[in-house]
Amino acid sequence: MLVLALDTATPASTATLVEVTPDGLAGIAEQRTVDPRAHGEKLAPEIAATLAGAGVRPADLRAIVAGVGPGPFTGLRVGLATAASMAQALRIPTYGVCSLDGLGRAAGPGRVLVATDARRREVYYATYVDGVREAGPDVDKPAEVAARLAGRFDRVAGEGGLKYGDLFGVPVLDDLLYPPGAALVALAAERIREAAPSEPLTPLYLRRPDAVEPAARKPVLT
């Protein structure tokens, strides 16, 4: 079965085509652009290029997997809205996966901290043991995360780990900065194989968006 994975929870927008078989999966093609202000502009062309490069039509897809965050409000919504609208048009199911879990799974064996940049000098983070989430996800300042979790991880992955690596004090997996689409699909593989019902793609924001409604205007005349 051909599955499309989308993730826009980090500065990267990623589209990945994966084949899911009864006993495994294989990555076929992937397009990624790293630009925190261009998710809406880049994701659709990435999807088109990923499918065209593999000679696959949208109608050949059997499911869509989407990274549901945590991530900044605007970028995250681009990926989830795109996944939901494509799935509705194609009449195929969607499955959501925590974006940090994709990094945690790809990091492999051992005790790993996954940290992505949450802006405001904070990180979204979770800890993993042998690819399985142990704690999180949550959001906090890097120094607070390092102090709270000291001794509970021996490596760090994600662009937050690279940015604040001096605080975490462990080796940084600098080749694993953004959620790999194949890892997201692997986490949803059993649901895909079982043809589980489509899931609502509920975003993990973890905090309120930066933009807020303006307060009511005060009258200037009395």
Which CATH number characterizes residue 154's domain? 3.30.420.40
Mean pLDDT on 177-197: 98
* Pair 70, 87 in one domain: yes
Mean predicted confidence (pLDDT) in 123-132: 98
Q: Is residue 200 part of a domain?
A: no
Domain interval for residue 169: 106-173
DSSP secondary structure letters along 134-146: EEEEEEE-HHHHH
What pLDDT is stored for residue 217 in this prediction? 57
Output helix, strand, coil percentages for the chain, rounded to the nearest 5.
35, 30, 35
Summarize pLDDT for 79-94 with one digit per residue, the tens. Answer: 999 999 999 999 999 9
Which pLDDT belongs to residue 211? 47
Going 42 to 44 to 50 to 55, the CA torsion angle's sign is negative
Same domain assignment for residues 116 and 83: no
Note the pLDDT of residue 207: 74
Predicted TM-score (pTM) of this structure: 0.92
- Domains: count for the chain: 2
Based on the fold, state whether residues 182 and 169 are members of the same structural domain. no
Mean pLDDT of 58-71: 98
What is the separation of C-alpha 56 from the centre of its chain, rounded to a whole number of angstroms?
Answer: 23
The answer on 144 and 69 residing in a single domain is no
Choice between 148 and 221, residue whose per-residue pLDDT is larger: 148
Q: Do 74 and 23 have their domain in common? A: yes
Region 35-63: mean pLDDT is: 97
